[in-house]
Amino acid sequence: MLFEDTLDMGNPLMFQVRACNNEGECSAYSEGRITTPLPWPDSPAPAPWVFTVDHFEIVAGDKLTFNWGMHESYSKEVSYNLTQIKPDGSTVQLLTNTGVESYEYQEVLMLGTHLFELQTCNAIKGCVNKKSLSVLVKAPPLTISGEPELKAFVGKAYSFTPNVLESDLSHLEFSLSPIQLPAWLAFNTSTGELSGIPALADVGIIENIVITVSDGQDTDTLEPFNISVINGLSEKIISINTSLLGTANKKID
């Protein structure tokens, strides 16, 4: 049996053989034999013996750590090129002609399957052989967060917009509880913003405000909060029970 230019030169290989007749009946495979095809002096460096990544499936924004190296039997000097091929087909050269054997990718953002290719190089034949692996980047879970201002002052603008972690912010819809707000306070269902300028007649407390966000599949809800409308001069507060659809329960000092 003759092999020509098909073996991974410089890396150990295992061979097993079996015999078959014309009727397709075959014996069991022989015991494996390991051999290392020796590269010619002017041949290119073999592909990396090891090329690994810590996670093959991550959430957008996570980091990746790659490690690689040659087989211990290969003693010649090599360098490496590390290339990323993104889901949209664009390429990024992460490392070029480097002698390091690890790389930390700080933040992978584009959703889809990313291909990473590690190529070995030597001074004689340049960069020829390579190994590759794929990493799937998924959308992060829908998450809403933020710390609203709990006081609104008469005659001054109030505004709060929650933060949302999501891969596609264009398909989000926000909802609010209680549905009926005081006239001065507006709610934007596209951004989740609460805003307005309270007047003296609006002094009081808006209780148990809950903002929810949905992407059509998943939802997340901000912790309930109150907004106290305060007159900066008297600081008298009227408690408004929003569950009674606008009926005010006044407690005046």
Judged on CB neighbours under 10 Å (0-12, 13-18, 19+), 75 is: exposed
What is the fold, at CATH topology level, of the domain defined by 43-138? Immunoglobulin-like (2.60.40)
d(CA 162, CA 160): 7
When mean pLDDT is compared across 3-7, 17-21, 155-159, 186-190, the lowest value belongs to 3-7
pLDDT of res. 35 = 63
pLDDT in tens, 117-129: 999 998 877 888 9
- Taking only the tens place, the pLDDT of each residue in 100-157 is 999 999 989 899 999 999 999 988 778 889 999 999 999 888 899 999 999 999 999 9
Pick the CATH number of 143-244 from 2.60.40.10, 3.40.30.10, 3.30.200.20, 1.10.3720.10: 2.60.40.10
Q: Report d(CA 143, CA 167) in Å as an integer.
A: 11
Q: Do domains 43-138 and 143-244 have the same CATH topology?
A: yes
pLDDT tier at 171 (50, 70, 90 boundaries)? confident
The whole-number pLDDT of residue 149 equals 96
On average, the pLDDT of the chain sits at 85
Q: Which residue has the tokens 């924004």?
A: 61
Boundaries of every domain in the chain: 43-138, 143-244
